[in-house]
Amino acid sequence: MKHINYRSILIILILSTFHFVSISQPATKIDLIEKIFQDEGEKYFSFFASDRSLIEQLSHGISIDRVENSGKVFAYANKKEFARFLEYGLAYDILPHPGDFHGELKILDQINLRDIEEWDFYPTYDAYVDLMYQFAEQYPSLCQVFSIGQSNQGREILFAKISDNVSLKENEPQFLYTSSIHGDELTGYILTLRLIDYLLSNYGTVPKVTDMVNGIEIWINPLSNPDGTYAGGNSTVDGARRYNALWVDLNRNYPDAEDGPHPDGEDWQTETMRFMELAEDNHFVSGTNFHGGEEVCNYPWDTWSRLAVDDEWWQYVCHEYADTVHLYAPSNYMSDFDDGITNGYAWYTISGGRQDYMNYFHQMREFTLEISDVKLPDPSQLPSFWQYNYRSMLNYIEQSAFGVRGTIKDSVSGWPVKAEVYTILHDLDSSWVYSSLPIGNYHRLLYAGNYTLRFSAPGYETKVVNNVQVVNRQATVLD
């Protein structure tokens, strides 16, 4: 009788078991992801991560939405991102999507601008496009409306440009408001639409509005991710989603000063490229990107732990925004964090955000405005959000005309020059600015103090000006 080697059989069985586990575990993970994402390409979920370094690691793989003091994290993910999240072995809860409205939404399909009183509705996509062009039709000398291109699904990315001489280039700062880069965050969508109407209808009547429209070129884009907002179809915002049509978070899709051109590992999306082209073709001085899910002014940086060199200015203008809100809002509105403001990195870090991109690569002063805890509020609440915020929205537009400003020209020919304006012993991380052609105008927003400015351009002698005095909410003109 042949001797049976039970030890060899046992080893073979163990190795077979290990082999089975190694191929069955990934299959189980794939099945789980397919089950979770069977109905769409984006999920909203929560988990606990009290370790800040862990949250920072996770932020490079998923789209973190907010972090609470308790360590509870709310986030979004597509399939690929959720697979990376599962590698950390954290317990999680899949949550109802914030873009799904439970109840009846007031959606208007036919809108006459002159008949709007309360702005207590959401428009269909077609009504939105029509409404935007109504602004230009009714105020042709003050407003131009145009598309900078189309989304992945062919929806227009529309802008209203407002100025007293709207077809001319003047010695004015360019200001930019955009909203809803996250398609399910829609309070800013309606508030910026209403702001266009407010500026146009009050020009010549309200002195502050008249002065701003006369002295600032104001650009407003109420909806920068139309595919996300109308993911449920053009007739409703119910079913709005954070990501674009290809399930990419557009506010993680920009080049990053620390993490390179593609920090999210995705190609630049159609919407991202249209905004990058817009920034290249213009010279925006300052602006805000409207979000939802919290109530706070989030200022740079998001990607770096170090503070921006203009941190004092950022805290000043953000507190101006929040403090003005507090005069007109309930006591619990925009009152968390540092009384309504926060440094982005101090809250939680992200890479590839629009805010940091505009600040670092285009020397613009843009902050992220989280305007409502609820991302898709009942439209009956929208007039209240307007009352809380519109004065602050006007104040921040006004800030673009302050600081040090002027024109830079060739002293012999008088022709305008594109030059660098560098604040000595102050500037860092691309905080300096440039004059722009064809006017040669520059705008350096600074907190009150005494500064030394250096003006330089290829082919010219550098000029240094000492003792430049800056006063808050005033313009120091230095030609």
Given a contact cutoff of 8 angstroms between Cβ atoms, the answer to whether 255 and 361 are in contact is: yes
How far apart CA 417 and CA 426 sit, in angstroms, is 23
Residue 1 has pLDDT above 80, yes or no: no
Q: What is the arithmetic mean of pLDDT over 437-458? A: 98
Alpha carbon separation from 256 to 63, 106, 353, 356 (Å, rounded) = 15, 39, 7, 7
What pLDDT digit, counting tens, does each position of 83-127 carry? 999 999 999 999 999 999 988 999 999 999 999 999 999 999 999
Residue 429 has pLDDT above 80, yes or no: yes
Alpha carbon separation from 248 to 225, 245, 253, 263, 377 (Å, rounded) = 11, 7, 8, 12, 24
Cβ-based neighbour number of residue 153 at 10 Å: 14
How far apart CA 450 and CA 470 sit, in angstroms, is 6
List of E strands, 337-393 = 341-343, 365-371
Residue 444 has pLDDT above 90, yes or no: yes
Q: What is the arithmetic mean of pLDDT over 154-159? A: 98
What pLDDT digit, counting tens, does each position of 59-72 carry? 999 999 999 999 99
Given a contact cutoff of 8 angstroms between Cβ atoms, the answer to whether 85 and 93 are in contact is: no
How far apart CA 79 and CA 271 sit, in angstroms, is 21
Q: How many helices (H) and strands (E) does the chain have?
A: 12, 21
Give pLDDT, residue 17: 37
Give pLDDT, residue 394: 98
Instruction: State yes or no: is 370 an active-site residue.
Output: yes
How far apart CA 471 and CA 479 sit, in angstroms, is 17
Give pLDDT, residue 6: 37
Given a contact cutoff of 8 angstroms between Cβ atoms, the answer to whether 325 and 392 are in contact is: yes
Q: Which of 266, 294, 370, 420 is catalytic?
A: 370
Give pLDDT, residue 367: 98
What pLDDT digit, counting tens, does each position of 372-415 carry? 999 999 999 999 999 999 999 999 999 999 999 999 999 999 99
Task: For the sheet with 174-179, list strands across it.
Answer: 143-150, 156-162, 217-221, 174-179, 284-291, 365-371, 295-299, 341-343
Give pLDDT, residue 7: 41
Given a contact cutoff of 8 angstroms between Cβ atoms, the answer to whether 339 and 333 are in contact is: no
DSSP string, 374-389: SSS--GGGHHHHHHHH
Give pLDDT, residue 36: 93
Name the residue type at position 270: T
How far apart CA 213 and CA 165 sit, in angstroms, is 9
Give pLDDT, residue 50: 82
Phi, psi of 367 (to 5 degrees): -120, 165
Give pLDDT, residue 160: 98
In this prediction, residue 21 has a pLDDT band, given cuts at 50, 70 and 90, of very low
Give pLDDT, residue 29: 85
Alpha carbon separation from 383 to 39, 194, 292, 378 (Å, rounded) = 34, 10, 16, 11
Higher pLDDT, 358 or 13: 358
Give pLDDT, residue 136: 98
Give pLDDT, residue 16: 38
476: tokens are 């120091």
What value does the mean pLDDT of the chain take?
94
Helix (H, G, I), strand (E, B) or coil at 18: helix
Q: What is the arithmetic mean of pLDDT over 342-352? A: 97
Higher pLDDT, 4 or 147: 147
In this prediction, residue 27 has a pLDDT band, given cuts at 50, 70 and 90, of low
448: left (phi over 0), alpha (psi -120 to 50) or beta: beta
Residue 19 has pLDDT above 70, yes or no: no
Integer-rounded Cα Rg, in Å, for the chain is 25
Within 8 A by CB and 6+ apart from 67, the residues are: 55, 73, 74, 347, 348
293: tokens are 């899910």
DSSP string, 73-133: EEEEE-HHHHHHHHTT---EEE---TT---S---EESS--GGG-SS--SEE-HHHHHHHHH
Residue 129 has pLDDT above 70, yes or no: yes
Dihedral Cα 119, 120, 125, 126, nearest 10 deg: -60
What pLDDT digit, counting tens, does each position of 275-290 carry? 999 999 999 999 999 9
Q: In terms of pTM, does the model score above 0.85?
A: yes
In this prediction, residue 23 has a pLDDT band, given cuts at 50, 70 and 90, of very low
Q: What is the arithmetic mean of pLDDT over 30-38? A: 92
